[in-house]
Amino acid sequence: MTTYFFNDTAALTGRTLRHVTRSMDTIITTAITPVAMMLMFVYVFGGAIDTGSAPYVNYMLPGILLMTIASGISYTAYRLFTDVKSGIFERFQSMPIARSGVLWAHVVTSLVANVIALVVVVGVAVLMGFRSGAGVLAWLAVAGILLLFTLALTWLAVIPGLSASSVEGAGAFAYPLIFLPFVSSAFVPTKTMPGPVRWFAEHQPVTSIVNTIRNLFAQQPVGDDIWTALAWCVGILVVAYIFAMAAYRRKIA
Amino acid sequence: MTAQSIAGPAIRVQGLKKSYGKLEVLGGVDFDVVPGSIFALLGSNGAGKTTTVRILATLLKADAGVASVNGFDVATQAANVRESISLTGQFAAVDEILSGRENLALVARLRHIKDPGATAEVLLRRFSLSEAGARRVSTYSGGMRRRLDIAMSLIGNSPVIFLDEPTAGLDPEARIEVWEAVKELAGHGTTVLLTTQYLDEAEQLADRIAILHQGRIIVNGTLPELKQLFPPAKVEYVEKQPTLEEIFLAVIGGDKSDTTGTTTGGRR
């Protein structure tokens, strides 16, 4: 079984990647909400938000990137849901292959699709004046955190992808995730928020991840934020993976 | 590569039970399928046909009873069972976004065949899909899609093939195309378990027919045997009107290749 794991997963990943490259509109729609937010915040609200001397686009890009991932993984759930619904998932499961390869193919595809969308969003941000003096190591650290966050949310997306009963249900779980950056340090400093909201903002995963990426871009020390961010990512990943595998085992009986 | 075939029935089902909560879907199903034959599981919607196939294809666990395919127990030797079978789904589980050729090559790769591209070409030709091979499956007609589905299940030469309602939702012409494909399969010695709710389909194809009703097999036999179970035929004089199906086929008939190749050829 394991001897064919990589061959089978590669074959199935090739298939799901074609689904992405043949519907590039999914990449566009993944990127369009974050880009629209970015335009709105930089050119409409940005002037009224005091975040210090750096351009506002520098301040809010990390939050926009997390929003991109959150909207990107709803397509992961959608693609998996479609496979389950159409019956092709069962066809693969009835074949003499490494069965978990079907899931891994979706996970790898999700990473690739999100990386493409993130590159598009960063490109737009650069056009809007985003600049960073960050070195190669800092960029690698940013990429690493974003990939880890994508991986964690991807496994989260696997759960509704396998167990939702409608397309809407498969995609809907992503909406709260897309809006989570609003109640964080992504767009405005948390110290401007009233007590309970501020407490929530400072203790939810997005803030520590945003602060870490922002400091990496700004060549500032990341402090403890990076450890909190990593702990959140790994924590979400582990819990989501456990529940996803439970949903998967229920599915394949 | 392929699991060794073993003397005895190709499929053996004994006392198979399955419930979803309080709803009993299978209430003790028994049947054997002789190697190389076509066995039809006939029943209306909700009779338990698909549940039976899903258990046999290792996609679902039975609550009680034993089932074996090609001599392997579906519960304890699931991997060997999967080496022995091919499943074509009720809703033609083919990839809509890939082309027909890519679908076939993908399955060939997953079955670890040396030259997936060549395998795909041979099957496209055999199922008259060569011209449509490069097109996305979403542009195929229902009959073409089902032919592709069956072609996919032939890759790897599985000794046992499950056809779950292969002609559901097809027009009469496409149905005949699928029947031809199934007959050809059995001609090559493959064991076919066919589920259907169409009486004429079972009559056309099957060596043996079992009627599944409310989770139980109520009759199991060859067509002549089944006919003997019912009151002897009365001789009556009835004017034989052509059936609507015969009229339909006569009106559009004569040019079968045209409809299979170009019904959807306009949209690319």
The 10s digit of each residue's pLDDT in A5-54 is 889 999 999 999 999 888 888 888 888 888 988 888 888 887 777 777 77
Average of per-residue pLDDT across A47-73: 86
Residue B2 located in a structural domain: no
pLDDT tens-place string over residues A141-196? 999 999 999 999 999 999 999 998 888 888 888 888 888 888 888 888 888 888 88
Q: Does B59 contact A4 at a Cβ distance shorter than 8 Å? A: no
Predicted confidence at residue B46, as pLDDT, reads 81
Select from B92, B94, B108, B178 the least CA-distant residue to B136: B94
Using a CB–CB cutoff of 8 Å, tell me whether B82 touches chain A: yes
Q: Which residue of A has its CA nearest to B83?
A: A96
Residue B242 located in a structural domain: no
Residue A105 has pLDDT above 80, yes or no: yes
How many angstroms away from the CA of B260 is the closest CA of chain A? 23
Contact assessment for residue B169 and residue B145, using Cβ atoms and an 8 Å cutoff:
no
- The backbone torsions φ and ψ at residue B103, rounded to the nearest 5 degrees and listed phi first, read -60, -50
pLDDT tens-place string over residues B166-223? 888 788 888 888 888 888 878 888 899 999 888 888 888 899 999 888 888 888 888 8
Residue B1 has pLDDT above 50, yes or no: no
Using a CB–CB cutoff of 8 Å, tell me whether A12 touches chain B: yes
Between CA B112 and CA B106 the distance in angstroms is 10
Q: What tokens appear for A99 in the block?
A: 């069965």
- Which residues on B lie below 8 Å from A92 (Cβ)? 110
Those residues with Cβ within 8 angstroms of residue B69's Cβ, 6 or more apart along the chain or in another chain: B10, B11, B56, B81, B84, B85, B160
Predicted confidence at residue A176, as pLDDT, reads 86
Q: Which of B44-48, B83-87, B151-155, B261-265 has the lowest mean pLDDT?
A: B261-265
Residue B266 has pLDDT above 70, yes or no: no
Predicted confidence at residue B47, as pLDDT, reads 84
Residue B187 located in a structural domain: yes
Q: Which residue of B has its CA nearest to A250?
A: B60
Contact assessment for residue A212 and residue A229, using Cβ atoms and an 8 Å cutoff:
yes
Domain count, chain B: 1
pTM: 0.84
Between CA A149 and CA A232 the distance in angstroms is 9
Query: What does the radius of gyration of chain B's CA atoms come to, in whole angstroms?
Result: 19
Q: Which of B35-49, B198-212, B239-253 has the lowest mean pLDDT?
A: B239-253
Q: Which position has the higher pLDDT, B256 or B91? A: B91
Predicted confidence at residue B92, as pLDDT, reads 59
Q: Which position has the higher pLDDT, B181 or A112? A: A112
Predicted confidence at residue B254, as pLDDT, reads 57
- Which residues on A lie below 8 Å from B18 (Cβ)? none
Mean pLDDT, chain A, whole residue set: 88
Q: What tokens appear for B242 in the block?
A: 């052509």
Give, as one character, the DSSP assignment of residue B202. H
Average of per-residue pLDDT across A219-247: 91
Q: Does A92 contact B111 at a Cβ distance shorter than 8 Å? A: no
For residue A233, give its domain range: 2-252
Give Cα separations from A215 to A226, B2, B50, B224 (angstroms). Answer: 10, 57, 57, 82
Predicted confidence at residue B261, as pLDDT, reads 41
Predicted confidence at residue A253, as pLDDT, reads 66
Predicted confidence at residue B91, as pLDDT, reads 60
Domain count, chain A: 1
Across the A:B interface, residue pairs with CB atoms under 8 Å apart total 70
Using a CB–CB cutoff of 8 Å, tell me whether B151 touches chain A: no
CATH of the domain at B208: 3.40.50.300
How many angstroms away from the CA of A94 is the closest CA of chain B? 6
Predicted confidence at residue A52, as pLDDT, reads 75
Length, in residues, of chain A = 253
Reduced to 3 states, what is the DSSP secondary structure of residue A192?
helix
Using a CB–CB cutoff of 8 Å, tell me whether A197 touches chain B: no
For residue B193, give its domain range: 11-230
Mean pLDDT, chain B, whole residue set: 84
In this structure, which amino acid lies at residue B26?
L
pLDDT tens-place string over residues A118-133? 999 999 999 888 888 8
Contact assessment for residue A76 and residue A161, using Cβ atoms and an 8 Å cutoff:
yes
pLDDT tens-place string over residues B65-77? 999 999 999 999 9
Q: Does A87 contact B82 at a Cβ distance shorter than 8 Å? A: no
Residue B4 located in a structural domain: no
Residue B250 located in a structural domain: no
* Mutation for A interface: B59, B111, B114, most A CBs within 10 A: B59
- Which residues on A lie below 8 Å from B107 (Cβ)? 95
Q: What tokens appear for B136 in the block?
A: 């996305």
- Which residues on A lie below 8 Å from B86 (Cβ)? 94-95
Using a CB–CB cutoff of 8 Å, tell me whether B134 touches chain A: no
Residue B235 located in a structural domain: no
Residue B248 located in a structural domain: no
Q: What tokens appear for A220 in the block?
A: 């500032």
- CB burial of A81-110 (b: ≥16 within 10 Å; e: otherwise) equals bbbbebbbbbbbbbbbbbbebbbbbbbbbb
Average of per-residue pLDDT across A86-97: 89
- Which residues on B lie below 8 Å from A95 (Cβ)? 82, 86, 107, 110-111
- Which residues on B lie below 8 Å from A79 (Cβ)? none
Using a CB–CB cutoff of 8 Å, tell me whether A25 touches chain B: no
Residue B2 has pLDDT above 50, yes or no: no
Q: Does A88 contact B93 at a Cβ distance shorter than 8 Å? A: yes
Residue B252 located in a structural domain: no
- The backbone torsions φ and ψ at residue B229, rounded to the nearest 5 degrees and listed phi first, read -70, -15
Residue A94 has its nearest CB partner, among B61, B82, B91, at B82
Residues 84-123 of B with CB under 8 A from A: 85-98, 102, 106-107, 109-112
Between CA B92 and CA B77 the distance in angstroms is 26
Rounded percentage of chain B residues whose pLDDT exceeds 70: 90
Residue B91 has its nearest CB partner, among A8, A14, A86, at A86
Using a CB–CB cutoff of 8 Å, tell me whether B54 touches chain A: yes
Q: Does B93 contact A96 at a Cβ distance shorter than 8 Å? A: no
Q: Which residues pair with B66 in a beta bridge?
A: B14
Predicted confidence at residue B264, as pLDDT, reads 41
Give Cα separations from A129 to A78, A98, A101, A132, A236 (angstroms). Answer: 34, 47, 42, 10, 33
